[in-house]
Chains A and B, each alone.
Chain A
């Protein structure tokens, strides 16, 4: 996951393989996880138009529909199911495969009845095919589309034309040993899927003519077929040389080599073409197939010197260093955790390994488990920040998320406190205090803490919005007082609890003669 991180803390599932699944898996991560992690939704309501109105409309319709449920639900829904499949329809192919997987070997008799219940409306009307009649009659052309129900009807069509002329006999029987096909006839036969010997194209000129015919016909399958033949019958230098000036064919060869996994020839080809960057990337791609972390690390080391662009070279170097570091951290932490002596691991057992996680995730991990470590250790957050040149903003965001998750409010405080040369302290946040507040709120920070940061939000409107939303009454009250907005303060009085300290505070202010209200 982005972040596999979330899984450390929230998922009970074993993770090992899941973590490496990559994007496919990442996509599936629920938004909820993300929120929990970063806590940074801006809480701005989503509106296309007039949200309140629409939502209440929706709720109303839901109520209306639900109120009908009692009347409707007691009947069985069988007839409805057929119209639009409900659930995994019994008798569907996907359903059946799950069944085979679930209890291979067990009997299916009992389900036959269920299965037959499912009938496809269109199929039900068709005559049951029996093995005696010829199906090929179904493939005959018709002048007007209609039903194929009657066999004689289908046969009586005069301009009968077979849609599937090859169906009658297996393809193999079309094997043709004739030596007389011209290059263009040959590619045409290949296009039709017929087995066709290419052995008679022996001179280079013939081979190239064959290739050019294939390319000009546009069918990639045929181009590849010819390339397979060329690859087998030409030395690679000659093959590469000829393909260099035939880009369409060249791309097909490259894709073919990638697909069959002929990495060696692929790299030779890139080398020949002097496509150094593709060569380097192709080599680097192989690391994805190496599961063992140490082997993967060693492999990445061999990638470091490859001819990447200057920019990518740095990324590769970072990748190597990151994994190297993760291996060390993982070994130490696994040991610490199993020894059971370290409080943090006892209280918050790790739910996944840190191996192969992105840098930001690793930083989160180290802010979570190794926050106070001296800069010299591999697992210290500051060390990570320096080594990988993590921008301030990213660092603060990640550290905040980690420390807030642990409810370590003092660390949060320290994160934003700076001292000037006179020794005065000041609060500063590279990510904006409104974001800080949101992250804190999501981690259930107590009101006193929230309040402190809401107060630091500069824009008055944003501050009021946040304070109201998170019920930081003191901030709201003080802000209205500073704005000398008696009306708003009066209105806010109705939102606080009766007889609460806040209500008293408002009353005291409203009756104060010291304030010159603007309204």
Chain B
């Protein structure tokens, strides 16, 4: 239970510095607008901001009132307005309407827009078009790395996924490169770099450019982190689409962890109020169960409860002095533990209730069948029934995508009938969602094999045809075949079952999916780290459609300590799931590594599907 790290496991670098940097930079920016001011904050920035600053800090820098950026006229009467926003067109329009309304009424105020993590030219264009360029001053708050935990850095950019993997917009690649640059400035250069995916390669190249432009000063530093591994989300959609069954993942799927904290409702807190709970390594109870398969969690919690009881019971035979000691020294810790314990027990109960209702067992069985590729007909009719009963639209969509990717697309007859039923059950406008899923390669129709291959080779030829000075579509709307079956065989993703898979004593990373499947993304990382290269993985890389986008870059390791060489930064472009994090933490314990995770956002199947959905408010 809660495997300790090996004694030789390397120490993690201290990432709290990133918080201080971000906070100080924000303070600096606020000071650029001296005097009292009202601050308008975009909803998506509120939680990240809460993690590094609080109201009294803002007050100290003469922020008077706080408002949320929303489509409502502002009631502020302040002479200075400051906007803290993501670089989005709709925010620009909102600000413009405010400023223009002031102008109409003959009012003059000072306006400042702080873009986080950076501004976009398209935003400035809108300010110009709306006639307020020059009336507002613009600044950038390069807050792009939020440490959510000791080993987890999030860029808190969920839109990265849709922008890049659906729309093909590369606007966030520079943000990623800047973040990597900051990390190498603070924690030394990375002697070994690996990556797979088109976006990974571009981010890597842009980052390298950045480093070259700056003086070579970072190179003289001793590296703290020995390896960096960049990976595109579309290299492995399958893992992200599976139901999660390790505790942290399950909590995320059930209650949605947002920016490292979760809202537990009355059904969990067994009181009439909701609680916002920070979930990280500092929560001692959570830290011991977060990576566990859900079936182990009960046992652990009841053991803990018994121990706690015993510790409280000790007070019975105490004399006054001992009691005094107990109260002053131990009680606080026990109370804290008690509170955490009852929260997590409440969460477990609530999860059990929900999952029993939705027939989770049956669902998991279907997922496993899809992963292993048997009983496809049965799974298809299971999905159909889901749709007919109008069970959650997101869940139905997710299952269809899983079927599509594991089967290299749906056979045309199934595609048509499932789509028709879906539109009938959840609304015809989802036609747009299907079109998006097809473009992203998440839900496709099987095409006759030969034509597709011909087109594919033509496309890949164009891609490498740089002599013509044209970089052509590498991931056009043409369905790339996912080849999941072949990859799964090559990489042994479905462990052979001889007897029961003991989830209490996991033997491989498959435990995060009840022993049924080793997450593809994590397996790739494991294999490459073992070889320190892509050597021998050519076939896998080809099947992943990444022949031009798998790279390694090693520098001399003489300066890297052996400790740093066991620290690995994994960068997920497009999001990673808690299951993947748990799997790699497990791998780290087995091999004496420690992984650090950098993701554009923590994701799960529902978030991926919602990002593809066109039907939003």
- Residues of A at under 8 Å CB distance from B? 2-3, 20-27, 29, 31-32, 34-35, 37-38, 40-42, 44-49, 54-55, 57-58, 60-62, 64-69, 71-72, 75, 77, 79-80, 83-89, 91-97, 100-101, 104-105, 115-116, 118-120, 122-123, 126, 128-129, 131, 135-136, 138-139, 141-143, 145, 148, 159, 161, 163-164, 166-167, 170-172, 188, 190-191, 193, 212, 215-225, 228, 245-248, 251-252, 254-256, 258-261, 277, 281, 284-285, 287-288, 311-312, 315-316, 318-319, 322, 356-361, 388, 390-391, 393-394, 397
Query: Across the two chains, which residue of chain A brings its CB closest to B38?
Result: A100
Determine the distance from Cα of A164 to Cα of B185 in the docked complex, in whole angstroms: 12
| Cβ < 8 Å to A, chain B residues 506-539 | 514
From A66, A143, A221, A285, residue with most partner B Cβ within 10 Å: A221
A-B Cβ contacts below 8 A, count: 393
Report B317-348 CB contacts with A as 1/0, cut-off 8 Å: 00000000000000010111011111001101
Is B435 on the interface with A (CB-CB < 8 A)? yes
CB <8 Å contact, B174 and A93: no
User: Among B203, B356, B393, which residue has its beta carbon within 8 angstroms of that of A2?
Assistant: B393
7 contacting pairs across A/B (C-beta < 8 A): A2-B390, A66-B342, A104-B75, A220-B174, A225-B121, A281-B432, A285-B614
Say how far A155's CB is from chain B's closest CB, in angstroms. Answer: 14
Q: Are A105 and B75 in contact (CB under 8 A)?
A: yes
Let me know if A220 and B617 touch, CB within 8 A.
no
* Bound-state Cα–Cα, A281 to B430, Å: 11
Say whether B17 faces chain A, with CB atoms less than 8 Å apart: yes
Which of B176-205 touch A at CB < 8 Å? 182, 185-187, 202-203, 205
Q: In the bound complex, do residue A68 and residue B308 qualify as a contact, i.e. CB atoms below 8 Å apart? A: yes
Query: Shortest Cβ distance from B536 into chain A, in angstroms?
Result: 29
Q: Hey, what's the 0/1 contact readout for B84-100 against A, CB within 8 Å counting as 1?
A: 00000100000000000
> Is B349 within 8 A of A58, CB to CB?
yes
Q: Is the CB of B393 within 8 A of A128?
A: no
Contact status of A252 and B338, CB under 8 A, knowing A24-B610, A116-B56: no
B494 at the binding interface (Cβ < 8 Å): no
> Are A251 and B57 interface neighbours, CB within 8 A?
no
B472 in the interface (beta carbon within 8 A): yes
Q: A65-B341, A93-B58, A191-B174 are in contact. Are A49 and B610 (CB under 8 A)?
A: no
CB within 8 Å for A22 and B617 given contacts A84-B283, A122-B16: yes
Contact residues in B for A55 (Cβ distance below 8 Å)? 298, 352
A contact residues around B173 at 8 Å (CB): 218-220
Give the residue of A23, A94, A135, A164 whose beta carbon is less than 8 angstroms from that of B27.
A135
For B217, the chain A residues whose CB sits under 8 A away are: 159, 161
Q: Shortest distance in angstroms between B574's beta carbon and chain A's nearest beta carbon? A: 14
Nearest-Cβ distance from residue A132 to partner chain B, whole angstroms: 11
Pair A358/B171 contact, Cβ less than 8 Å: no
Nearest-neighbour CB distance to chain B for A380, whole angstroms, equals 18
Q: Which residue of B lies closest to A285 (CB)?
A: B432
Task: Using known A-B contacts A22-B616, A45-B356, determine if residue A393 contacts B388 with beta carbons closer than 8 Å.
Answer: yes
Least distance between B107 CB and chain A CB atoms (Å): 18
A34 B390 Cβ-Cβ under 8 A: yes
B113 CB to closest chain A CB, in angstroms?
12
A36 to chain B, nearest CB (A): 11
How many angstroms between the C-alpha atoms of A2 and B390 in the bound complex?
6
Is B487 engaged at the interface, CB distance under 8 Å to the other chain? no
B41, B206, B429, B469: the one contacting A217 at CB < 8 Å is B206
* Complex alpha-carbon distance, A83 and B283, angstroms: 8
A148 to B17, CA, bound (A): 9
CB distance from B335 to the nearest CB of A (A): 5
A55, chain B: closest CB distance, angstroms: 7
Per the bound structure, the CA–CA distance linking A136 and B32 in Å amounts to 12
Give the contact-size bracket for chain B: 35 or more
Q: Is B455 an interface residue (CB 8 A)?
A: no
Q: Evaluate contact between A87 and B273: CB separation under 8 angstroms.
A: yes
Q: Are the C-beta atoms of A65 and B67 separated by less than 8 Å?
A: no
B278 at interface by CB-CB < 8 Å? yes
Q: Which residue of B lies closest to A261 (CB)?
A: B89
In whole angstroms, how far apart are the Cα atoms of A277 and B275 in the complex? 48
B359–A42 CB distance below 8 A: yes
* A355 → chain B closest CB, angstroms: 12
Also in contact, A312 and B431, with CB within 8 A (given A60-B302, A135-B31): yes
Residues of A within 8 A of B105 (CB): none
Q: Are A388 and B424 in contact (CB under 8 A)?
A: yes
Instruction: State in angstroms the CA–CA spacing of A449 and B187 once bound together.
Output: 72
Note all chain A residues with C-beta closer than 8 A to B32: 170
**What residues of chain B lie closer than 8 Å to A24, measured between beta carbons?**
610, 616-617
A86–B54 CB distance below 8 A: no
A49 and B296 alpha carbons, distance in the complex (Å): 9
**In the complex, chain B residues whose CB is within 8 Å of the CB of A64:** 302, 305-306, 308-309
Nearest CB on A from B94, distance (A) = 14
A513, chain B: closest CB distance, angstroms: 45
Q: Are B388 and A219 in contact (CB under 8 A)?
A: no
Cβ < 8 Å to A, chain B residues 338-384 = 338-342, 345-346, 348-349, 352, 354-362
A422 and B554 alpha carbons, distance in the complex (Å): 84
- For the complex of A and B, 10 pairs with smallest distance between CB atoms: A220-B170, A22-B615, A220-B171, A251-B168, A247-B473, A48-B295, A61-B302, A225-B121, A319-B428, A61-B305
